[in-house]
Amino acid sequence: MTTRLPAQPNEVIDRSKPLAFTWNGKKMRGFEGDTITSAILANGEHIISRSMKYHRPRGVLTADFWDPNTSVQVGDEPNVRASHRALVAGMAVSAQNVWPSLKYDAKAANGLVGRFLTAGFYYKTFMKPAKMWPAYERVLARFAPGGKVDLDTPHGYHDKRYAHPDVVVAGGGPSGLAAAVEAARAGASVMLVEHEHDLGGHLRWGSNDDADALAGLVAEAESAGVEILTNSTVTGRYEDNWLAIAQRNHPIAVERLIKARAKVLVVAPGLIERPYVFAGNDLPGVMTSGAVRRLIAMYAIRPGNRAVVLTANESGDAAIDELERAGIEIVKVIDARTGATVTKASGSKSRVKAVTCSDGSIVDADLLVTATGWTAPTSLLNMSGDRPVYDPASARFFADSPPDNVLTTGGIAGDGNRDELISHGRSTGRLAAARAGVARHRIQAATTRATAVDGPEPAYPDDTRSPLGRDPHPELFRSTSHGMVDFSEDISSKDLFGAAAEGFDSVELLKRFTTATMGPSQGKLETVNTVAVLAEARGETLAEVGTTVWRPPYAPIALGALAGRVFEPVRVSSIQPWHEANGSTPILAGQWVRPEHYGAPQQEVRNTRANVGITDVTPLGKLDLQGPDVAKLLSQLYTNKWMQLAIGSVRYGIMCAEDGVVLDDGVTGRLGDEHYLMTTTSSGAGGVWNWIENWLQTEHPEWQVHVTPVTTGLTSINVAGPNSRELMSRLVGDDIDLDPDAFKYMQVRTGTIAGVADCVVWRIGFTGELSFEIHVPSGHGLHVWETLLGQGESLGVAPFGLEAQRIMRLEKGHFIVGQDTDGLSKAPTTGMIGLLKFDKDDWAGKPEVAWALEGDYPRIVAIQPTDPSIVPDEACQILREGTKDIVGRITSSRFSPTLDRAVCLGQVTPEFAGPDTTLTVQLVNGEQITARVMQHHAHFDPEGERLRG
Amino acid sequence: MGKHKSPARYSAAGLAWRGLRNKSWPRVWREPELKSAYDVVVIGGGIHGLATAYYLASNHAITNVAVVDKAYLGSGGSGRNTAIVRSNYLTPEGVAFYDRSLDLYNTMSTDLNINVMFSERGHMTLAHTDSALRTMNWRAEVNKLQGIDSSVIAPDEIKKLSPSLDTSPNTRYPILGALYHPPGGTIRHDAVVWGYARAADAYGVDLHQKTEVLDILCEGGAGPNGKGAGGKVTGVRTNRGDIHAPVVVNCTAGWASTIASMAGVRLPITTHPLQAAVTEPVKTFLPTVIVSGSLHVYVSQTDRGELVFGASVDPVANYDMKGTLEFTEELAGHVLELMPGLSKMRLMRQWAGLCDMTPDYSPVMGPTPVDGFLVDVGWGTYGFKAGPVSGEQMAACIAHESMPDLIAPFVLSRFTDGTLVGEKGAAAVGH
Ligand SMILES: Cc1cc2nc3c(=O)[nH]c(=O)nc-3n(C[C@H](O)[C@H](O)[C@H](O)COP(=O)(O)OP(=O)(O)OC[C@H]3O[C@@H](n4cnc5c(N)ncnc54)[C@H](O)[C@@H]3O)c2cc1C
């Protein structure tokens, strides 16, 4: 049985394009231009869902985006708004909150016990037995509304767009359209954003004259060059008109985010028709006047056969005409302006059958149309910092005082006939363009540019629009009976009265306790009725009760659209392709991918100690520092002294945060008079850069220092091992003298390596071997690496990875910031007491470090398990013997191929830090072993003879 | 002695009885007159203030107590948080303290006779890097010794517990392991707030909503108007008049430093917004709480099916609760990084609350240099789970005029004698 009417003059469906789809598995047909619900209704079905708590059958109520009980599953997409989503051929649509089926829903039994399921009932029961809550919880979870996520849904790309329009108009009804047209004509770049599929707002279901006027406005907008986005929503207004626009009609992305900085925002979202509260108001067949007008005029759907109309306004009156025109019998009109109303709709389980009127009469009807007033969607105004004000004479909220760059027009601003609305829109558009012009001038004047701004700043235009009127409207929220207030949450006015009586009697508490307005329409339909019912319960006015704050987004937006593409590139050194081609196992270290090893890390260690090894240390943070005040900066940041560092020397330093906690460490070399190269840990690179900028920009803006991060600009290679000098000598040009007396430990040289000019080489030794760290311009990194391998063949050169490097540094007892230290380790913990220079004026963390030195700070010590073959896992706890008292932990541990035994670093309390102290270490499996605290941090070559060699 | 007027008991039978007779429940709490003097005035009607008042009455028979809040009960962080509770902290002090809180949560539904919906669904902190994994191992080892159920699990086990996670190695930030803490979970924050309020009210504690403290009255202090070190508190000035009290407790979280300064007390606290968001509901599919420190995000699914998301605090200190677009973008990006299958779910609402951050990620509790002016603040992003134990201990502190052991490490003076608490590592994004 179809309910499709004969062709309507302004219908949006294209009868020449039938579309096949399925509804709960059943094959159906609709037309292009249909929404999912109009197509389902056309096929003679009218139950779209079951309600959340009571599982009552629900149908179309508003026939637009906010239709509360029309969320459906479409393929892998949950919560599709069926009264908005356009029908597409082949859609598999199914009802969501039903079990086992929409028609025979077993949970409908809840309706019988409804009286006990008052709002917030779950707070009052299921407490005992306590153990049972998880079981209750599983049952309650079954009632979770909403569709199903298909975990295999592809992420996809939703690239974002950035826009800087002069004016954004939110809402494409007559006023918004007119505003967009005039703003564009005045020279502004304009983006017009319309929530629905077509422009026009209420003109879309109006008279033929309305349709003509609409066509005229659209043509004007197009010729004025307005950028029109339909099926798109301004979902958020953030600081200074930073707008989020969800574009749902993009050809490739399901939904796309447009981020726009508008100079002026025009808010023209029209009005949302408010449902009326009375017994049975949620029965299918009860609809708003807008719903029936849309169904008939746009989709040619017969919404019922025998209608009762409750009208308090023009929209209700127009619905009567529309119904009559469509040949639907009007059995009764109740004019609410005369004080009459509806007290009850009753019916079978699935449809209205009769309507009880306030005069006591009962009429048979299968359609009840209500036109009881409007809710102003003041969301965007709220997000602009405005607190809308209730006007009892017209029974709705109006803007109070939004900022100058936010203007309202159309229904949200007042009432008027079509021409008045258009004319208000036009003057709003002109005002918006003029204000945007001033903003543009200010921005141009404030920026350095090649051509100067023309002329003086225009005068800031005052708002001289003649305001729209306000039609009187009766305050109609609830009849004398109780009915649904929140259709998506199944909250009735009785629930609200009950909650208010219990003391949840401010809007915020009421909302939280009952969950009214918390569902998918986020209060668009429910807020005002909720406030009204609470006002009634408290015997106050709506203004006294106030509203809750609307929060973004205005309409829900897909996570995929918000996420967009992930701009978090993986970083690699210029040598990475070689590593991959040569059997390296990659490891993710922060942002970097680097070689962990090339098959046998222990062998890599042995070879480096015996011959020579090379390793790619590009991820080391590198900052190029230039200027007369670099030394001052270094003195401020590092705990040790920097004012006297000679050109050609490097120095190791520790940096502390202001609480004295170790922030980073590394080596910095002086390359020239005012030129230094700083290295940081790999993970600390970004943080140290920020830290330096913080000092330079906010603490010492007078210091002249240029900081350039060059981490990836230079490829860094460490050449380590007894043969390293010989290997280097085969590569360096005449400009670098490698003689041990000419180029000492902790010195730096710049020059040519493997024919590459402008390289930096310094002699340091993280591995404990004689070693040279070279930094070459990245483009030549691979060349230098390969040359080292080629020239070093006879010297036994082999690459080593991160793991071998970690083993060697541990053998050598070098701590790693963030591994051997933690978020509370102050500088003294590292044992580097000699580096803490208290005779310096100041350095970051100095007072805190001084303090720490007086107290019982934990110590980093080298530890060797008594049984050389047991390597305790990093994180193993060190206990006071025979107790569970934690006195320290292992922070680093490896098997040392050089010493053929387990070696560790750990942090212990001072009591346990003395050399030769015996420690009790609890292994991960719970077993306990003993270990010994060593004399030096270095397990190997404590005198450092090798690296100075 | 506290005159304990037992409130109407909540029970299934009560629901049925009132349902049948169409009777509504009595008021959860009274709307009392504002008296001009109380023994104790608690500023802030969040979980900390209400729990303190409740335990003062129930454990120490101190019932001449007022709780004042400038808005409604639970309007601060207590009504805005994502209600994750756990006890797998890092330091012995932290563990002992939060574990006591979990104990109180476990019996709260029956103790307070309101279903707080404590859902021990398990709490998983993901490690995406070597170093994160190392920290987790450390926490697991410490927890083991303290008898806390918490261990490091591998990707295949993670996948079993939460199939929606992408545990494959080819993601941008592969999941290398997780610290799994079965007793952690979520709770219905509003119910906890209302439960304490209702129970405190029944003991005779006066709850005053829409009562804003404008100044703190002091005498004898070194500063102007007798404020500051060496002085003592005499009451508070509110928008509804002065209230005299020898003891005033500051439980105002995000506003804590401004309130303390009214007494001439400077706190080492900065306030940062913390944002959160929820999606539209879908059928439940996420059984545990998921936290990822590297991706700055945590997720859980409510019984209603909404996903609740949180992140780390906004980087810049301020008092703005509007929320930003960038937060939702970064959040969505990171959530899809973890669970790509959610790309068609929609974000429904975002909001922000204020967090009172201390340098060592631990609270400040107990006395201040102004006699009678106490604080229970610095709760940052982790204060909800600590509400019950804080209230219990603060009440003891007030009643006995000495610091109980459990909260001794959190004294204000630690900032001037260098004994900070070491929870930094475990608390960052560690809800
Ligand atoms: C988004 C978000 C997520 C969070 N997630 C978690 C989590 O998962 N787990 C967790 O444990 N914690 C979490 N937290 C932290 C937690 O919410 C807070 O630490 C906790 O709620 C603090 O409680 P409180 O009672 O101290 O303060 P609040 O609940 O903030 O209460 C302070 C009260 O003081 C009132 N007040 C302020 N100024 C005045 C005045 N002048 N006069 C009178 N009254 C005043 C306020 O109105 C407010 O009600 C989160 C916080 C946020 C914002």
Which pLDDT value is given to residue B426? 43
Is there a single domain that holds both residue B366 and residue B415? yes
Is there a single domain that holds both residue B331 and residue B209? no
- B312, B308, B309: which is closest to B296 by C-alpha? B312
Does the pLDDT of residue A609 top 70, yes or no? yes
The answer to whether residue B17 sits within a structural domain is: no
Q: Are B392 and B104 in contact (CB under 8 A)?
A: yes
Q: Are B144 and A886 in contact (CB under 8 A)?
A: no
Token pair 């309202």 in the structure block, residue: A408
Is there a single domain that holds both residue B193 and residue B324? no
Task: Write the Ramachandran bin of B429: left for phi over 0, alpha for psi from -120 to 50, otherwise beta.
Answer: left
Structural domain ending residue among the three candidates B357, B391, B419: B357
Query: Using alpha carbons only, how large is chain B's radius of gyration in Å?
Result: 22
Q: Are A72 and A82 in contact (CB under 8 A)?
A: yes
Is there an atom of ligand 1 within 6 Å of B388 CB?
no
* Alpha carbon of B216: minimum distance to chain A alpha carbons (Å): 27
Q: Find the domain containing B278 and state its range.
A: 123-183+271-357
Structural domain ending residue among the three candidates B297, B328, B357: B357
Residue of chain A whose alpha carbon sits nearest to that of B75: A508
Which pLDDT value is given to residue B427? 42
Amino acid in the structure at residue A906: G
Residue B246 is given by DSSP the state: S
For residue B339, give the CATH number of its domain. Answer: 3.30.9.10
- A689, A942, A941: which is closest to A831 by C-alpha? A942
Residue of chain A whose alpha carbon sits nearest to that of B17: A116
Which pLDDT value is given to residue B425? 46
**Strand extents, DSSP E, A317-385:** 329-335, 342-347, 352-357, 362-364, 367-371, 374-375
Q: How many CB atoms neighbour CB A463 within 10 A? A: 11
The answer to whether residue B29 sits within a structural domain is: no
Which pLDDT value is given to residue A948? 80
Question: Using one digit for the tens of pLDDT, what is the confidence trace for B112-163?
Answer: 988 888 888 999 999 998 888 998 999 899 999 988 899 999 999 999 999 9
Q: Are B43 and B213 in contact (CB under 8 A)?
A: yes
Which pLDDT value is given to residue A145? 79
Give the number of A-B residue pairs with CB atoms closer than 8 Å: 288
Is there a single domain that holds both residue B108 and residue B203? yes
Please give the average per-residue pLDDT across A807-816, as a whole number: 96
Using a CB-CB cut-off of 8 Å, the residues of chain B touching A570 are 172
Secondary structure (3-state) at B359: coil
Q: Which band of pLDDT confidence, cut at 50, 70 and 90, is reported for residue A110?
A: low
Q: What atom in ligand 1 is closest to the CA of residue B351?
A: 1
Residue of chain A whose alpha carbon sits nearest to that of B18: A116
Residue B35 buriedness (CB in 10 A; 0-12 / 13-18 / 19+): middle
Q: Which of A80, A123, A138 to mutate to test the interface with B (most CBs of B within 10 A)?
A: A123
Q: Which tokens sit at A944?
A: 């450092």
Using a CB-CB cut-off of 8 Å, the residues of chain A touching B141 are 875-877, 889, 922, 924
Q: Hey, are the CB atoms on B425 and A137 less than 8 Å from each other?
A: no
Is there an atom of ligand 1 within 6 Å of B78 CB?
yes
* Partners of residue B347 on adjacent β-strands: A557, B279
Kindly tell me the sign of the dihedral angle through the C-alpha atoms of B17, B18, B21, B25: positive
Q: Are A214 and A204 in contact (CB under 8 A)?
A: yes
**A448 vs A626: which has the higher pLDDT:** A626
Which letter, b or e, does each residue of B384-420 get, where b requires 16 or more Cβ atoms within 10 Å of its Cβ?
bbbbbbbbbbbbbbbeeeebeebbebbbbebbeebeb
Q: How far is ligand 1, taken at its centre, from the CA of residue B45, in Å? A: 9
Q: Which tokens sit at B106?
A: 């476990």
Does the pLDDT of residue A120 top 50, yes or no? yes
Q: How far is ligand 1, taken at its centre, from the CA of residue A557, in Å? A: 28
Average pLDDT, chain A: 93
Among the listed ranges A589-593, A602-606, A742-746, A870-874, which one has the minimum average pLDDT value? A589-593
Task: Write the Ramachandran bin of B10: left for phi over 0, alpha for psi from -120 to 50, otherwise beta.
Answer: beta
Please tell me the distance from the alpha carbon of residue A725 to that of residue A745, in angstroms, as a whole number. 12
Q: What is the DSSP string of A403-417?
A: -TTEEE-GGGT-B--
Please give the average per-residue pLDDT across A134-153, as a whole number: 78
The answer to whether residue B352 sits within a structural domain is: yes
Is there a single domain that holds both residue B372 and residue B416? yes
Is there a single domain that holds both residue B135 and residue B244? no
Q: Which band of pLDDT confidence, cut at 50, 70 and 90, is reported for residue A346?
A: very high
Q: How many CB atoms neighbour CB A448 within 10 A? A: 4
Q: What atom in ligand 1 is closest to the CA of residue B49?
A: 25
Please tell me the distance from the alpha carbon of residue A10 to that of residue B16, in angstroms, as a whole number. 54
- A200, A204, A228: which is closest to A290 by C-alpha? A204
Query: Using alpha carbons only, how large is chain A's radius of gyration in Å?
Result: 37
* CA of residue B391 relative to chain centroid, distance: 11
Token pair 């930096």 in the structure block, residue: A760
Within 270-289 of B, beta carbons closer than 8 Å to A belong to 279-285
Residue A212's φ and ψ, nearest 5 degrees, are -65, -45
Neighbour order of strands in the sheet with A167-170: A227-229, A190-193, A167-170, A264-267, A406-408
**B382 in A contact zone (CB under 8 Å):** no
The answer to whether residue B211 sits within a structural domain is: yes
Q: Hey, are the CB atoms on A877 and B339 less than 8 Å from each other?
A: no
Does the pLDDT of residue A117 top 90, yes or no? no
Please tell me the distance from the alpha carbon of residue A359 to that of residue A310, in angstroms, as a whole number. 13
Question: Using one digit for the tens of pLDDT, what is the confidence trace for A829-872?
Answer: 999 999 999 999 999 999 989 988 988 899 999 999 999 999 99
Please tell me the distance from the alpha carbon of residue A390 to that of residue B428, in angstroms, as a whole number. 43
- B177, B129, B176: which is closest to B150 by C-alpha? B177
The domain tally of chain B equals 2
Q: How far is ligand 1, taken at its centre, from the CA of residue B44, in Å? A: 9
End-to-end CA gap in chain A: 97
Is there a single domain that holds both residue B178 and residue B308? yes
Kindly tell me the sign of the dihedral angle through the C-alpha atoms of A863, A867, A871, A876: negative
Question: Using one digit for the tens of pLDDT, what is the confidence trace for A670-714?
Answer: 999 999 999 999 999 999 999 999 999 989 999 999 999 999 999
Is there an atom of ligand 1 within 6 Å of B252 CB?
yes
Is there a single domain that holds both residue B216 and residue B351? no
Is there a single domain that holds both residue B106 and residue B203? yes
Is there an atom of ligand 1 within 6 Å of B385 CB?
yes
Report helix angle B189-202 to B387-400, nearest 10.
30
Is there a single domain that holds both residue B107 and residue B225? yes
Is there a single domain that holds both residue B84 and residue B214? yes
pTM of the model: 0.91
Residue A266 is given by DSSP the state: E
Kindly state the helix (H) or strand (E) to which residue A762 belongs, with its residue range. Answer: strand A756-763
Q: Hey, are the CB atoms on B335 and A551 less than 8 Å from each other?
A: no
**A382 vs A107: which has the higher pLDDT:** A382
Q: Which tokens sit at A421?
A: 């609305």
* Partners of residue A708 on adjacent β-strands: A624
Which pLDDT value is given to residue A181? 98
The answer to whether residue B6 sits within a structural domain is: no
The answer to whether residue B235 sits within a structural domain is: yes
Please give the average per-residue pLDDT across A215-221, as a whole number: 98
For residue B203, give the CATH number of its domain. Answer: 3.50.50.60
The answer to whether residue B199 sits within a structural domain is: yes
Q: Are B159 and B286 in contact (CB under 8 A)?
A: no
Residues 6+ apart with CB under 8 A from A823: A661, B422, B424, B425
Please give the average per-residue pLDDT across A56-76, as a whole number: 95
Which pLDDT value is given to residue B18? 74
* CA of residue B148 relative to chain centroid, distance: 21
**A663 vs A564: which has the higher pLDDT:** A663
Structural domain ending residue among the three candidates B357, B384, B402: B357
The answer to whether residue B381 sits within a structural domain is: yes
Q: Hey, are the CB atoms on A140 and B71 less than 8 Å from each other?
A: no
Please give the average per-residue pLDDT across A650-658, as a whole number: 95
Q: Which band of pLDDT confidence, cut at 50, 70 and 90, is reported for residue A130?
A: low
Task: Write the Ramachandran bin of B117: left for phi over 0, alpha for psi from -120 to 50, otherwise beta.
Answer: left
Q: How far is ligand 1, taken at its centre, from the CA of residue B46, in Å? A: 6
Which pLDDT value is given to residue A366? 96
Q: Which of A127, A237, A497 to mutate to test the interface with B (most CBs of B within 10 A)?
A: A127
Tens digit of pLDDT per residue, chain B (431 long)?
A: 444 566 778 877 777 777 666 777 889 999 999 999 999 999 999 999 999 999 999 999 999 999 999 999 999 999 999 988 888 887 777 788 888 998 999 999 989 988 888 888 999 999 998 888 998 999 899 999 988 899 999 999 999 999 999 999 888 889 999 999 999 999 999 999 999 999 999 999 999 999 999 999 999 999 999 999 999 999 999 999 999 999 999 999 999 999 999 999 999 999 999 999 999 999 999 999 999 988 889 999 998 899 999 998 998 899 999 899 999 999 999 999 999 999 999 999 999 999 999 988 889 999 999 999 999 999 999 999 999 999 999 999 999 999 999 999 899 998 887 666 665 544 433 44
**A874 vs B171: which has the higher pLDDT:** A874
Is there a single domain that holds both residue B288 and residue B418? no
Q: What atom in ligand 1 is closest to the CA of residue B47?
A: 25
Residue A539 is given by DSSP the state: T
